[in-house]
Structure formats: structure tokens, C-alpha cells
Structure 1
Amino acid sequence: MPDNWTTWGDTAEGASYGGLTLQNEYIRAVVTNAGASLVSLESPDRSGEWKNIVVTAHEREDYLTNPSFLGATAGRFANRIARGEFELDGTKYNLAINNGPNHLHGGEVSFAHQIWQLLSPSRESVTFRLVSPDGDEGYPGELTVELTYQLKGRELVLNYSATTDAPTILNLTNHTYWNLAGAGRIDDQLLQISADRVLENDSDVLPTGTILDVAGTPWDFRTPKPIGKDLSETDGGYDSCFLISGANGSLRTAAIASDPASGRTMEVLTTEPGIQLYTANHFDGTQASAGWEQHTSFCLECQHLPDSPNNPEFETEFGSTTLRPGETYRQTTVHRFGIS
């Protein structure tokens, strides 16, 4: 192992897990093969003070169970699938139910809760690989996934790829919780989202199938505004999928966040059609939320639309989530850090 790798321990099954430090002039990050997760990321503010700006678990072993998906890779299918059911090529599949009556982020033992193989580690990049067997959490086909974390100047670049030996569905995202101040509530941090439209949710945070215009609603982030400005007008906080403007599959700006107090900025670019804004609504100060309270961080999860397999109109407009043998799934998401 390279000298920037630290072994943290072994799982009950005997698999070794640990953290790898990636560092350049602008960014210091730690990633772990437990869930292919981003553990911490430090960047300087306008006065040169370095601070961790992501929510980090209290204990290293927390990344083995990680109920809040801190920094984790969610999959096979990120976000929700209604009743844990979908049909593919005339066959109905039943997935693990782990979020009320529905399936969330790949199930009870999702990609976030598995030990990934470590490939090609270096000072500024690493690739993680996971082979998900046929029937894993109910999904068909053996799936091979690779995720590369790479530092490029002021950017943290995430490149995903996957192949399968049988038709399956796939939707991957990173579930990092951000706070550009490093602590405290996020009310005064600014957010802009490149989206004119957002999915309407039902009471289970599943899409109803209706696409809403954001104009004149609390979900209007087309120009920068404090995250807390309209927070009280939502149902306990934001947990919505915004439809990113621009051509699907092209790398484009999805969101820009900033902290006026520290001067830190973060631009998120992605090839995905959607971005889920989640304001840590379930955080309650317990170990599951790393001691953080409600609305002290936010997720910007770049992904395909939730419950797409059960909403054919989503697949028509925004691209299919079905992956077949001979095809390669690819996704790129970039976090670009700066100082204002």
C-alpha cells in the first residue's frame, strides 16, 4: 500500500478497509474503500485557513454501516424506487425495502455499505472497483463498477463507469454533506441551481410524475439566494430533484454554492440530468448524523431521476437508466472550489 494509505481495520468477514489521503496545493481529501466514500475535504478560506467542509463520521467504523450515507456512493439505484418494484423486459423485480414502503439508495446493503477494491492509488487520484453479484439486493445481472476520485487543481473530479452481464438498472451518485463554513447552520450560505424545473414529490418523497416550474416557489434557485430564505416554506427542508438545464450527457454547471463569511465557493458540474438538493432534514445530533443537527449541511446529489424505471416519460426525456450487456455506463461529476 502507498504511504498515503492508512488501514483502519477489518470487517467481520475479514476485508480490510482504510483511508487514502489525496492532496495538492488547493485541496486535502480523505477517501475510504468503505462505500467508496469521501470522508473529509479541506480547502482554504479567504484568509488562508484550511477547514474540513464535509460531514465526517465520528468513528471510522461508522463507514461500515453509515445509515446517513455520509460521503458515500449510493447504488445500484440512488434515490427512491416506489414499493421496491420495477419491470424490465417483461420481468418484474422486487428490491429490498428500506425506506418506509420503498427502496432507497440501493437497499439495506447498498454500494455505500460494501468494501470496494482499491486500484491505482496515487497522491492525487484513486480508483475503487466493486463487483455486485446477480441478485444483489434484488437487482438482476452481475455489475462491475469503477469510481475514480481525482484532484485536478481546484477540482475534485468523480468519474464513474459500469458494465453488466445481463440487463439491469443503474443510477449512481455521491452523497456528501457539505457545509462551506465547516460548522453551524447553512441558512446564510448561498446556493444557485441551474434548473427551471423540479419534480413534484408525494408524502414519501417519491415523484408524482408531475414536473413543476420553479418560478415563484421556494424551489427557485435560478439566482443565488440564502438556503434558509424559504426553508420554512418547505415541508421540513429541501429534498427535491431539480432538472438541470442544458443537454443531457454534456458536462455543465448544475449548482454553485458559496459561504459569504469564509469566502469559500463550490461549483458542481455534471453530465447527469438531475441534482437532488437535500438539507439534512433527518439530522438530530446522534451518531447516525455524526453529531450534526438538522439543516447544518446540504447534499447536491447528481443523478438520474428518482423512480425512473416506473416513470417511462422520465426515461424518454432524460435518458434510460437501463444498462445492457455490451454497453458502458459513464458519468462525470466535478466539484470546483474557489474563494470569493
Structure 2
Amino acid sequence: MRTGISHAPYGQLPSGEQVVQYTLANANGMVVKIIDFGGIVTEIHAPDREGKVADVVLGCDTLDDYRSKSPYFGALIGRYGNRIARGRFELDGETVQLDTNDGRNHLHGGALGFDKVLWKAGFMGDTLVLSYHSHDGEQGYPGNLEATVVYELNDSNELVVRFRAVTDRATPVNLTQHSYFNLAGEGDILAHELTIDADRFVPIDAESIPTGGLAVVDGTPFDFRTARRIGSRIDEVDLQLRNGKGYDHCFVLNKPAGKAMTRAVHVCDPRSGRVLELFTQEPGVQFYSGNFLDGSLSGKGHAWGYRSGFCIEPEHFPDSPNHPDFPNTILRPGEVYETESRFRFSVDKGR
């Protein structure tokens, strides 16, 4: 297997701009494919316990589908991952109004967030570097933001994602990566065994907006501190499961304050033996169990049905600009936003 980065045309935007797909390969035979539109991870090929390689992320077949139909499959999310209530918050004495693209609320940066723009691609050794200038007022956000994302596939079978951003005016920033995983490569994800290192989570209302404060996982369907199947309690009668239509919640990670890198999530598919671990510097991770997938969107030879993929999005908490007690998400001039996450693939051979 040739290591490094190769590239090929992927399609053309209505503006006439060309979209390119970049292929990252490591010495172990892992392959990751990424397009510069939305910084979307279109494919991740990983081996099972028998050495059989399968694509373990959900995706579309065409650029047009990623543009118009995709529920953020594989995309970079910004300026703000997750929701902001009514798209409104106070910042330095002024009211900021963002685009509202999820009912009354703002979701994942707005209707034309970072997932719907063409990033500028470059290289730094065997890493792919994507950069984007988000102008003052884009989707309602104040300030010009210079964002950079580095994708690296190393020989430890880790897809490393590094974010960096600077601004010329105070603005909220909460960047994340939104791949949908299915470690079996097909079917639903309810038999996947999940561990999340979190004693608490962020409860939400019926519009998926934080209610204020944090809730303990102990004694609830949200307790993944020891491994259990995603589907084991997902259909229990529980207000939070009802509000999220399943799991669609930010888990508060057990980690020291600051930027320490810790293992947040461990997922194993017992059928294939594939394992995915998430290591992150972020204080939270959004676990989403694919509750809105309904089979109407297809790609890669599959109709993406109900709960056929899960997301583990490293992030700060939703609606943080409206919750002073949540970790800060306001970036100011002279500061640098930097965060790193690692998606590590391996195999459990003991089953």
C-alpha cells in the first residue's frame, strides 16, 4: 500500500469551482478519503479481526447529494457545532442574531456553515491542511475568522484532526468533526458496545436546547461508564430519550481542566471486532445514535436506515454563549483557538 496523499477530481460546484478528493493512506493498509468541500470525510477503510477491510463511515455517492441532502455526513462543523437557542446571545453588551436553520434555533453554523463551503487545500508532509476565511457577518457571526484544519492518518491507525482559528472580533467558536460511523460496515449500530468516560451529561428540552445545569448519568439510560450495547436502553421510557428521539446529547467528560488529551469514548462492534476510540482535548462529546436517518438517503450501495450510524462529536457544550456556567466558547482578538482529537481504529481479536 502506497502511503502519503494522492488526489483526484470529485465534481464541480454551481460556481464552476472544482472539488477535489484527497486520499490518505498509512503503512497498515488504512485509507481515509476527504473532499475539500466541507472538509468531508467520505470514506474510512479499516480491517476487521479477519483482516477484511470495509468502509466504516456513512456517506453519499455524489457531490450534489453532499450539497443538498446530507445530514452532515463526515463534515467539518463551524463556526459553532451543535445548537444555539433562537440563534441569539449577548456578547459584550450587544445582541447577536445568527441564522436559524433548525426551527427557531441555530444548528451547526447555520444553513451555510463550514460543511457547505469550499476549503483551500494544502499539504504539510503527509498531512492535509484545509483553510477557510469566514467573513464578518457570515451566518450572523461577528468578526473575520481564519480557520485551519489538519487531517493526518498516522501508522497507529489514528485519524488526527487538529483545529486552529483566530479572529479580529469576539465571536463564539466550537469546531468539530461530524462523521457517522458503523463499524460493521452495514446494518444498524444497536449492537455496538459503547463506553463514554462521563459521569454527567447536558439535559435538553424538546427542541434539543440545554435546560440549564448538568445531570448525572448514574441510574439512567445515559450511563455508559462501563461498556454496554447502544440499543440496550435506547427505547426506555425516559424524558431525555424522548426529547432526543434516542441519544442526541452532550456528555461531560471526566477529565482535568485545561487541554489535556484523554480517552473519551470506546466503541466495539462484536461482530467484526473493529474498535474505535476517541481521544480529545474537548470538555464534551455529542453522542448521536442516528435517530433521524430513515432510509430516504442512500450511498455506497446502502439505504441509510434508522440508527444505521452513530456520531461522537468532540465539542464544547451546546448553547454555551447563553450559559455562563458552561466552559467558555468566546474567542477574542489576540487569542488562538486550538484543539485536537484522535479517532483510533484497532481490532478486538478476543471474541
Question: Partner residue of 1:190?
Answer: 193
Q: Are the counterparts in 1 of residues 210 and 318 from structure 2 also a CA contact under 8 Å? A: yes
Q: Does 1:64 align with 2:67?
A: yes
CA RMSD of aligned residues (A): 1.5
Q: Are the counterparts in 2 of residues 58 and 291 from structure 1 also a CA contact under 8 Å? A: no
SS in 1 for 2:24: strand
Q: What 5-or-longer segments of structure 1 have no aligned partner?
A: none
Identical aligned residues as a percent: 39
SS in 1 for 2:121: strand
Which of 81, 84, 87 is the aligned partner of 1:84? 87
Which of 290, 299, 305 is the aligned partner of 2:311? 299
Question: Partner residue of 1:265?
Answer: 275
Which of 238, 251, 254 is the aligned partner of 2:264? 254
> Mean alpha-carbon deviation: is it higher for 17-26 or for 188-197?
17-26
TM-score by length of 2: 0.92
Q: Does 1:120 align with 2:130?
A: no
Q: Are the counterparts in 1 of residues 59 and 73 from structure 2 also a CA contact under 8 Å? A: yes
Question: Partner residue of 1:324?
Answer: 332
The alpha carbon displacement at 1:56 in A equals 1.3
Q: Are the counterparts in 2 of residues 55 and 179 from structure 1 also a CA contact under 8 Å? A: yes
SS in 1 for 2:139: helix
SS in 2 for 1:64: helix
The alpha carbon displacement at 1:22 in A equals 0.4
SS in 1 for 2:66: helix
Q: Deviations over 1:44-69 (max 9, x none)?
A: 00100000000011323322335400
Q: Are the counterparts in 1 of residues 5 and 23 from structure 2 also a CA contact under 8 Å? A: no
What is the letter of the counterpart of residue 321 of structure 2? P
Question: Partner residue of 1:156?
Answer: 159
Q: Does 1:204 align with 2:213?
A: no
How many angstroms apart in 2 are the aligned matches of 1:217 and 1:256? 19
How many angstroms apart in 2 are the aligned matches of 1:134 and 1:305? 24
TM-score by length of 1: 0.95
How many angstroms apart in 1 are the aligned matches of 2:298 and 2:108? 16
What is the letter of the counterpart of residue 338 of structure 1? S
Which of 330, 335, 340 is the aligned partner of 2:343? 335
Q: Are the counterparts in 1 of residues 10 and 35 from structure 2 also a CA contact under 8 Å? A: no
How many angstroms apart in 2 are the aligned matches of 1:35 and 1:121? 19
Q: Does 1:43 align with 2:46?
A: yes
Question: Partner residue of 1:181?
Answer: 184
SS in 1 for 2:303: coil
Q: Are the counterparts in 2 of residues 18 and 33 from structure 1 also a CA contact under 8 Å? A: yes
The alpha carbon displacement at 1:121 in A equals 6.3
Q: Deviations over 1:213-248 (max 9, x none)?
A: 101100000000000000102323100000000124
What is the letter of the counterpart of residue 252 of structure 2? L
Q: Are the counterparts in 1 of residues 5 and 127 from structure 2 also a CA contact under 8 Å? A: no
The alpha carbon displacement at 1:190 in A equals 0.4
The alpha carbon displacement at 1:3 in A equals 7.7
Question: Partner residue of 1:313?
Answer: 325
What is the letter of the counterpart of residue 132 of structure 1? S
What is the letter of the counterpart of residue 174 of structure 1? Q
What is the letter of the counterpart of residue 288 of structure 2? Y
Question: Partner residue of 2:102?
Answer: 99
What is the letter of the counterpart of residue 240 of structure 1? H
What is the letter of the counterpart of residue 273 of structure 1? P
Q: Does 1:245 align with 2:254?
A: yes
How many angstroms apart in 1 are the aligned matches of 2:138 and 2:219? 43
Q: Are the counterparts in 2 of residues 19 and 32 from structure 1 also a CA contact under 8 Å? A: yes
How many angstroms apart in 2 are the aligned matches of 1:9 and 1:296? 27
Question: Partner residue of 2:77?
Answer: 74
Q: Are the counterparts in 1 of residues 69 and 297 from structure 2 also a CA contact under 8 Å? A: no
Q: Are the counterparts in 1 of residues 5 and 25 from structure 2 also a CA contact under 8 Å? A: no
How many angstroms apart in 2 are the aligned matches of 1:58 and 1:161? 30
Q: Are the counterparts in 1 of residues 190 and 229 from structure 2 also a CA contact under 8 Å? A: yes
